[in-house]
Structure 1
Amino acid sequence: MYQKNFLGSGTIVSIILSFDTAVTALVAARVSPSRQPGNSAACRYLPYDDEWPNEEEWSALNKTIGGHLIRAIPLAQSCYVPNFNPSECEAMRNQWVQVNQYLEDPVNVMAPDWQNNSCSPPPFANTNGSGSCTLGNLAHYAINVSEADAVIAGIQFAREKNIRLTIKNTGHDYLGRSAGKGSLALWTHNLKEITFLDYGSVKYHGPAIRVGAGVEGIDLVNAASQKHLRVVHGSCPTVGVSGGWVQGGGHGPLTAAYGLGADNVLEFEVVTADGQHVTASPLNAYKDLYWALSGGGGGTYGVVLSTTLKAHTDGPVAGGSFGFLNSDSDKFWSAMTAWLQHLLVLNRIPGLKTIGTITPTGFAMNFATWPGATVQDIMSGFKPYFETLAELGIPLTTNTTMVHPNFLSHLEHFSSDTAYTVNVMVASRLIPRSLVQNNASLSTLVFTIRDISNRNPAIFNIISGNVSHSANISNSVLTAWRESLFHMNFGLSLDDNASWEELQSRRDIISDWQDQFRLVTPGGGSYANEASVMDKTWKEDYYGSNYKKLEEIKVKYDADSVFWANVAVGSDEWAPMLDGRLCRTQ
């Protein structure tokens, strides 16, 4: 993989996506007959329109931004004539589901929902190089952002030329918000600034870290550890901290101790839709923008260049993990019911976070994170549950408890074996404490999980950490987070060679599961960063009572929807057509 500048000097290789026709059909039905796709202001222009910018205009933009414009090229182009190269194609096939190539790409996202046969390696493609290879649903060009002026120039160009604009950071994007047919992408991945501050305001005095939009979680953890500090970040080490993670709320190993990612934000450095470069904080004229960015969804209100986060003093962290097999179905599901009930106890312990996984073959409590605790504390917390397992006759297959001197060493030990793959499809639900406290409601929930697991190789991640202590912070985090006992994301893994038809089928299955869990968890809500684009009640599930205020802020800062993203606030004002063209719906 390589990167060079625009026009004749090379490209950065980019995977090709083609917009999911099932999704577009769903939203296209809402378009008014008077707003049909075509060459009018009602729709954004595409590369085959007469109004699309010509080479001279793209070249002028490239010059304006210092030669940082990138033309997208299919990642698997070596599998097709005229670029057919059997050895390169085979290498691409072998790494097709590897994460890193997507993180370092300016236009591609790693979610399989947004990949199909537009330009895929064998076995999707013919082995003789025949077939078509197009850009599909990906951005046509990308700006490698290094400063605010490049973002401002990109926004101005997109507005003047009436083309779609997208924002991409690392590639983690289950909703396809970073993709967009014929768009100009603002690629913030290389904004890697990490600056330590002694922050002071009327709301907070203490250590802080200014984090560039492209900084990934593991890099931030390493940098903070060197300063004897720790900071909230996502459970996946390659998630960009300042991007959609924090803007969507942001959970991770330390959030039970310090609150969600959005709860830790002191200020945002933002470029708005009218090209203003501003700082948004709860104490200045942009406090409403700060409020919206702190939990109201990414890719919607402006382009975040950096985020300033609270930092916390590092020190010992207790951790633990255990697991057991499903060798007797009735006993196993009794044990899972008991675990969810025991979370009512563990969830009341300040700072304790647990992440467990249910599969048809067993349960793994992958790791617990408890800053400042001891081995005895962890053992005491789990002891009542282990006694329940003993009564059921279920032996533990693994059981580890230890204290590490700092958070980084704790994370490296307990999450080192965690696999982060491309071929998985997910959705999520926040499960209220009140539901688990009600035996009948809990039985219905467990029955639903069991029924799904009996019929599918499903994966259920049970992520529990109390964040109600941050409820007094003024931000747009979905209120269901404060009332939840645990966040449950669920999904299906896919074979590396899964066909597009199988991807569509699995996507429909996941959507059906989300509908089922919504019915049995009223008021629960869902975490939009790990959710489905097919959720028909996305406004309620992803934004809840905050939606109206968020919509008002969206109109204030971006009335023309320069920033449009799937199931984002205000997104129903526009919709992609069957050919991927973005058009007004009314």
Structure 2
Amino acid sequence: MIVYCQNTRDVQNAIRWARFHKVPIRVRSGGHHHIAYSTGTGVIVIDVSEMKQVHVNKSQGIATVQAGVTGHELYTKLFQRGLTHVGGTCSDVGISGLVLTGGMGPLLRRIGLTCDSLVRLEMVDANGRIIHATKHNEHKDLFWASQGGGGGNFGIVTSITLKVYPAKPVTWFKIDWDWNQPVEKVIHAWQNFFLKADRRWFSHLDLWPKVFPSKKLKKSPLSAFGVFYGAPKEARRKLAPLLNTGRPNKQTIKLVPWVEAIQLFEESTAVFTGPKPEYKTSGAFAMRPLPPKAIKIIRKTLQNTTSPLLNVLIYSLGGALQDKSPTDTAFFYRKAKLFFLYNVEWLKNESANKRIRELEVLRRRLLPYTRGDYVGNPDTNIKDYLTSYYGGNVRRLRCVKRKHDPDYVFRFPQSIPPASKMTKCP
């Protein structure tokens, strides 16, 4: 059964009903979970997607947002007031889920993660009680855990308060190459540029295989794109190392409104050919720059694969992400240089197992150069998922779980279990 909650009281009632009748609970907001842990068979789905209220206090620079609001809805609402939030690049992701997993987006290097802008949250706990958590009140442990500790682990978030920021025009850049260009040099040049770039820059490097149907999908197989918080003239001058690598077949460097930049990000990172794709995703962080051997693995894999829709999307990290330590929030990978998002889609006449195996082989080949995974891109092939997602913060997260959900009510595959009674917790 599914309960479409209209308010916090509905959430409380659903939790209490589920516990009384001993029915397992799943929590759903944007419904964007890659492995569908937000639903299940023989469960009650507590769905907050219809809780859509947004209250903006421009003078205080904050917005209070109910848990059903998506990134696109919040971007639109804020832009009407000349504001924006530290969001992602996929518009239909629920903003509460983005906060709870950390949230990596275009403002990452300038301001930080989405969860770094969290001011306050309202959550219903395993007993149906309403909790208000901030960084400094009696529920500061829960606030900490909610900054990257994953959705559905500690309770059901019904409202969040976030810092918001002026939405100023920004320079959008996009540089495209074909596969007849020096692919390894392109990857190296992009990495070298963004490892040294200042906080005004954020970028993705989008890599598709040699058999990618570029003409059909009207998309280049190799692209570097992103934003620069400065003038196009300066951006073009500084991007010279990339513009002079090989011969780009297309380049765009222009000043655009912030809301258009978000739309361009979404269009550029689109990976699916239809509205209901069959796909597999995974991820990993690079704590050090990729050596030539790792870059060669990526190039050879994409050059030799028969899968037309195997994709590697690399995020430039650093900047404001590193202003906090790995233990300041539940998001552990503050010191990472890059994030890799691996994705593969298969078509109706293709073998799903074969495509999934290709992605897994690539992920494993890059393990000597990467670490962990982002909880927002979970992977069932990862056995030690707790360490993979949360690194050195696992013990503390399990202690928070034991305090707020000792009966393990919020349980699903790859959820955080409570610490054992033998564990010494703060």
The one-letter amino acid paired with 1:193 is Q
Quote the offset at 1:175 in angstroms. Answer: 3.0
Quote the offset at 1:149 in angstroms. Answer: 1.4
Determine helix, strand or coil for the equivalent of 1:528.
coil
User: CA deviation digits over 1:45-68, x for unaligned, max 9?
Assistant: xxxxxxxxxxxxxxxxxxxxxxxx
For 2:314, which of 439, 459, 462 is the aligned residue? 462
Q: Which residue in 2 is equivalent to 1:18?
A: none
User: CA deviation digits over 1:258-300, x for unaligned, max 9?
Assistant: 1111111111110001111121111211111111011111110
Bigger Cα displacement from structure 2, 546-555 vs 409-418: 409-418
How far, CA to CA, are the matches of 1:443 and 1:366 in structure 2?
19
For 1:370, which of 214, 218, 228 is the aligned residue? 228
Quote the offset at 1:415 in angstroms. Answer: 3.7
The answer to whether the Cα contact below 8 Å between 1:324 and 1:396 also exists between their aligned partners in 2 is yes
Q: Which residue in 1 is equivalent to 2:214?
A: none
For these two proteins, the number of residue pairs brought into alignment is 403
User: Computing the radius of gyration over CA atoms, which structure comes out larger, 1 or 2?
Assistant: 1
Q: Which residue in 1 is equivalent to 2:373?
A: 526
The one-letter amino acid paired with 1:312 is Y
The answer to whether the aligner puts 1:339 opposite 2:190 as a matched pair is yes
For 1:412, which of 243, 263, 284 is the aligned residue? 263
The answer to whether the aligner puts 1:554 opposite 2:412 as a matched pair is no
Quote the offset at 1:162 in angstroms. Answer: 1.3
The answer to whether the aligner puts 1:242 opposite 2:96 as a matched pair is yes
How far, CA to CA, are the matches of 2:39 and 2:6 in structure 1?
20
The answer to whether the Cα contact below 8 Å between 1:281 and 1:287 also exists between their aligned partners in 2 is yes
The answer to whether the aligner puts 1:385 opposite 2:246 as a matched pair is no
Distance 1:475-1:280 versus aligned 2 partners, 3 A rule: farther
Quote the offset at 1:485 in angstroms. Answer: 1.9
Q: Which residue in 1 is equivalent to 2:160?
A: 307
For 1:507, which of 356, 367, 374 is the aligned residue? 356
Quote the offset at 1:366 in angstroms. Answer: 5.1
How far, CA to CA, are the matches of 1:304 and 1:363 in structure 2?
39
Quote the offset at 1:424 in angstroms. Answer: 2.7
Distance 1:472-1:311 versus aligned 2 partners, 3 A rule: farther
How far, CA to CA, are the matches of 1:475 and 1:295 in structure 2?
11
The answer to whether the aligner puts 1:165 opposite 2:25 as a matched pair is yes
Q: Which residue in 1 is equivalent to 2:296?
A: 447
For 2:341, which of 489, 492, 516 is the aligned residue? 489
The answer to whether the aligner puts 1:354 opposite 2:203 as a matched pair is yes
Structure 1: give runs of 5+ residues left out of the alignment: 1-140, 200-205, 437-441, 574-586
For 2:415, which of 559, 568, 572 is the aligned residue? 568
How far, CA to CA, are the matches of 1:513 and 1:301 in structure 2?
33
The answer to whether the Cα contact below 8 Å between 2:398 and 2:418 also exists between their aligned partners in 1 is no
The one-letter amino acid paired with 2:362 is W
Quote the offset at 1:531 in angstroms. Answer: 3.0
The answer to whether the Cα contact below 8 Å between 1:269 and 1:305 also exists between their aligned partners in 2 is yes
How far, CA to CA, are the matches of 1:572 and 1:507 in structure 2?
33
The answer to whether the Cα contact below 8 Å between 2:189 and 2:241 also exists between their aligned partners in 1 is no
How far, CA to CA, are the matches of 2:95 and 2:160 in structure 1?
8
The answer to whether the Cα contact below 8 Å between 1:294 and 1:475 also exists between their aligned partners in 2 is no
How far, CA to CA, are the matches of 2:18 and 2:355 in structure 1?
35
Distance 1:308-1:157 versus aligned 2 partners, 3 A rule: same
Q: Which residue in 2 is equivalent to 1:430?
A: 285
Distance 1:146-1:460 versus aligned 2 partners, 3 A rule: same
Q: Which residue in 2 is equivalent to 1:277?
A: 130
The one-letter amino acid paired with 2:293 is T
For residues 188-337 of structure 1, the aligned pairs below 5 Å read 188-197=48-57, 206-243=60-97, 245-327=98-180, 331-337=182-188
How far, CA to CA, are the matches of 2:418 and 2:221 in structure 1?
39
Quote the offset at 1:327 in angstroms. Answer: 1.2
Distance 1:483-1:308 versus aligned 2 partners, 3 A rule: same
The answer to whether the Cα contact below 8 Å between 2:206 and 2:222 also exists between their aligned partners in 1 is yes
User: CA deviation digits over 1:505-535, x for unaligned, max 9?
Assistant: 43344334333322332xx321121131220
The answer to whether the Cα contact below 8 Å between 2:72 and 2:92 also exists between their aligned partners in 1 is yes
Structure 2: give runs of 5+ residues left out of the alignment: 211-219, 421-426
Determine helix, strand or coil for the equivalent of 2:297.
helix
Distance 1:319-1:463 versus aligned 2 partners, 3 A rule: same
The answer to whether the aligner puts 1:542 opposite 2:358 as a matched pair is no
Quote the offset at 1:413 in angstroms. Answer: 4.4
Distance 1:559-1:507 versus aligned 2 partners, 3 A rule: farther
How far, CA to CA, are the matches of 1:256 and 1:153 in structure 2?
41
How far, CA to CA, are the matches of 1:277 and 1:505 in structure 2?
47
Distance 1:568-1:444 versus aligned 2 partners, 3 A rule: farther
User: CA deviation digits over 1:520-578, x for unaligned, max 9?
Assistant: 32xx32112113122022222110000000000011111111111222211899xxxxx
Bigger Cα displacement from structure 2, 465-474 vs 159-168: 465-474
Q: Which residue in 2 is equivalent to 1:181?
A: 41
The one-letter amino acid paired with 2:254 is M
The one-letter amino acid paired with 1:225 is F
* Fraction of identical pairs, as percent: 22
Quote the offset at 1:363 in angstroms. Answer: 4.8
How far, CA to CA, are the matches of 2:235 and 2:221 in structure 1?
18
The one-letter amino acid paired with 1:266 is V
Distance 1:209-1:319 versus aligned 2 partners, 3 A rule: same
Bigger Cα displacement from structure 2, 286-295 vs 349-358: 349-358
